[in-house]
Amino acid sequence: MAKELRLYERPTLERPVLIGAFRGWNDGGQAATLAAGYLARLWDAQKFADIDPELFVDFQATRPNVSLDEGQTRHIEWPENTFFRARIPGTDRDAVLLVGVEPNYRWRTFTELVGELATDLGVEMVVTLGALLADVPHTRAAPVTGAATDPKLVDELGLQLSRYEGPTGIVGVLLDACRRSGIPSVSLWAAVPHYVSLAPSPRAARALCDRLATVLGISIDVAELAEAEDAYVEQVSQAVASDSDTAAYVEELEQRADSLDWLDESGGLPSGEALAAEIARFLRERDKNGGEAGPG
């Protein structure tokens, strides 16, 4: 394999499924990477490979982080795409978790590396997790859509044929590479409220895990995400209540969600950008004041 793929060990896996999530365009509210990271911790996943970011990442756009080891030695953490392996609890199959950042360059080369490793490990299915910003209220369950390019998978798993046309991210390119390589692939997308896009969304992460469990026919313990979800809803609701325009807009979204009547915005409601700015301001003030909301 190419030297950019750094393989620390070659694990022996049983009926593996590859689950991938990438920070960036495909990760509204950080829900996809939050879900993938949660699974890695829940399943006690072990790192076995990564992709050298040197050829794929613009370090001015996605900068490395500097930290101190034991408060003394400076350590640079580079933005990487890392592969973990884990046995899925209660099953006879393994998972390969790919968690990282959407590359800036050489997407075809990047997906070829992932595809070659998946083929070498005998991966039976690839499932990508994504999250998009949408007109959905934070007080309702996060909708999740599932799509596949293989009609057989669509029928077996109750998914939809992918009919999306328009700009795509690394998730779309990776799924296309899987299709051409003959690896069955599924794409799961959760909807995240656009007016609170800056806050990580455990609600959408939980929804992705629940749908993933259905697709794979497994059980996933989401108790910790559910607890974080309650705190998330409470915090955002406090922010919403602090502004009458925001509260009116969210109430409209709730009515749409409850009636399944998704009409265009009307009635002079504030724009999504204005709402997002208001929520972001509230959350910043809340952090500065030790958990209490600052003045409006």
Cβ atoms of residues 244 and 117 within 8 Å: no
CATH topology for the 5-221 domain: Rossmann fold (3.40.50)
Cβ atoms of residues 109 and 173 within 8 Å: no
Distances (CA, A) of 214 to 23, 144, 207: 24, 12, 11
Alpha carbon distance, N-terminus to C-terminus of the chain: 56
Residue 166: CB atoms within 10 A of its CB come to 5
Encoded tokens for 141: 């369950």
Cβ atoms of residues 196 and 279 within 8 Å: yes
**pLDDT higher than 90, residue 273:** no
Among 117, 128, 126, CA closest to 35: 128
Give the CA angle between residues 28, 182, 117 to the nearest 5°. 70
Mean pLDDT along residues 178-195: 92
Q: Which pTM does this prediction carry?
A: 0.85
Residue 282's pLDDT is what? 55
Tens of pLDDT, residues 61-70: 999 999 887 7
Burial call 37-68: b when 16+ CB within 10 Å, e when fewer: bbbbebbebeebbbbbbeebbeeeebeeeeee
Which residue in the block uniquely carries the two structure tokens 């108790």?
223
Mean pLDDT along residues 260-269: 41
Burial call 230-241: b when 16+ CB within 10 Å, e when fewer: eebbebbeebbe
Tens of pLDDT, residues 44-57: 999 999 999 999 99
Asked which of 17-26, 83-92, 263-272, 273-282 is least confident by mean pLDDT, the reply is 263-272
Higher pLDDT, 233 or 270: 233
Tens of pLDDT, residues 79-135: 989 999 999 999 999 999 999 999 999 999 999 999 999 999 999 999 999 999 988
Residue 224's pLDDT is what? 96
Q: How far apart are CA 208 and CA 37, in angstroms?
A: 12
The percentage of the chain sitting over the pLDDT mark of 90, rounded to a whole number, equals: 63
Encoded tokens for 172: 């779309």
Residue 77: CB atoms within 10 A of its CB come to 9
Residue 174's pLDDT is what? 94
Domain borders along the chain are 5-221, 227-288
Is beta strand 81-87 parallel, antiparallel or unpaired with respect to 65-69?
A: unpaired
